[in-house]
Structure 1
Amino acid sequence: MNLWRGVNVRLRGIEPEDAETFYAWDSAETETARMVEWVWPAGSLAQARQWAERRATGESRNDEFFFAIENAEGRLVGVINTHSCDRRVGSFKYGVSVAPAFRGRGYATEAVLLVLRYFFDELRYQKATAEVYAYNERSARFHERLGFVQEGRIRRVVFSQGRHFDLLVFGMTVEEFHARYPRSTEEDWLQRCLAR
């Protein structure tokens, strides 16, 4: 069994050669940036290379990881990262993004389930949180389908397109995760989870 391999995806570290793909994604459109952070100024391929090099060679701090999401054909299709990790409390946050050409194929679902299982079952975390901009309705529906509960709405803390928007806070506890996705050491764990 490989904790980083799903049915249709594999999580791996960022490699320096991923820079060209990230640069192409960032150059092609800005809506993905708007959905996960903010629309940053146009960057160069050299900047993308520096970013990928730092991710590839840097050490993870406090369980904060940045994974590339590869599909079964070995193509880079997205990224998932963990942040705001607090081992004492047992809580962490994550973000996930899949390139527009690869959306709707279940890659984000598998990547999130692999990360949740790792943090809950290997690192003993007990709570996962995802923050979603209120205008990103696709992400809000995605988290609800995964079994996350909307725990709050922080009003007017996001600014985009000349307006202020709310931030939606979604959470899942380890107990909720295991109730929805029962523990198993079997190879077909993820397949059974995806069949729900």
Structure 2
Amino acid sequence: MHVVPEISGKNLRLRLVTPDDAAFVHGLRVDPSYNAHLSPVTGTIADQRAWIESYKAKEAAGKEAYYIIERLDGHPCGTVRVYGITQDSFTWGSWILNADKPPKAALDSAILVYDIGFGKLQKSKAVFDVRADNERTLRFHRRFGAEQTGSDDENLYFMIANERFYELRDVLSESLRTEIPK
């Protein structure tokens, strides 16, 4: 797999994480406002930096990509990861958007992730899980056309085919061009 180093949307850009992003990533992951539906985090900023440095070997091997989501002015406002890449699918997660995000950042960042997985990587489906109590994210993915494929005590499992994404992409992208009432 060729890792996509950067991709831009209407209001956001995804760029690969660097060790210099450790404080930002760590801050998001330990903030109770953002981590309620994530795996627990322990450790320090130095530990996060070491994790990113270790992860860079997976990136170099084309096995996964960890992105900083930033506004077009370069200000970081979240993270997302593309991983679990197989012959025909990819997984995405570690999706966090903070209060500095622009309007419709969830939609813009999701379209960018799917553009990477379906467009650049040429995969036929995306698979992912969402914590069962994360109602807001569940609604988002269902609106995006994701199909639930299973569940357990903690998570619901989903799949979205590239055909379904492309059926909805233009309509969803158009909503990014619509001004939000003040």
Q: TM-score band, normalised by the shorter chain?
A: 0.7 to 0.9
The DSSP-based 3-state class of the residue aligned with 1:30 is coil
CA distance in 2, matches of 1:121, 1:15: 24
Match of 2:159 in 1: 171
**Residues 178 and 145 of structure 1, relative CA distance in 2, 3 Å threshold:** same
**Correspondence 1:25-174 to 2 at 5 A:** 25-27=28-30, 29-30=31-32, 32-36=34-38, 38-41=39-42, 43-55=43-55, 59-87=59-87, 90-102=88-100, 105-152=103-150, 154-156=151-153, 158=154, 167-174=155-162
Q: How many residues align?
A: 174
Q: Could you tell me how far apart the structure 2 residues matched to 1:177 and 1:81 are?
A: 18
TM-score for both structures, normalised by structure 2: 0.80
In structure 2, what residue type is equivalent to 1:52?
I
TM-fit CA distance, 1:146: 2.0
- Provide closer, same or farther for how the CA distance between residues 52 and 120 of structure 1 changes in structure 2, counting only shifts above 3 A: same
Which residue is equivalent to 1:162? none
Structure 1 position 194, deviation (Å): 3.1
2:9 is the counterpart of 1:21 = no
Shift of 1:193: 5.8
Is the partner of 1:101 in helix, strand or coil? coil
Distance 1:85 1:78 in 2: 22
Distance 1:53 1:65 in 2: 13
Q: Aligned runs of 1:175-194 on 2, under 5 Å? A: 175-182=163-170, 191-192=173-174, 194=176
**Structure 2 counterpart of 1:171, one-letter code:** M
Identity of aligned residues (%): 28
In structure 1, the gaps of 5 or more residues are: 159-166, 183-188
C-alpha change, 1:59 and 1:39, in structure 2 (3 Å) is closer
- Distance, in Å, in 1 between the alignment partners of 2:54 and 2:76 is 18
Q: Distance in 2 between matches of 1:99 and 1:57?
A: 25
- Distance apart, 1:24 and its partner CA: 2.7
Q: Which stretches in structure 2 are left out of the alignment for 5+ residues?
A: none
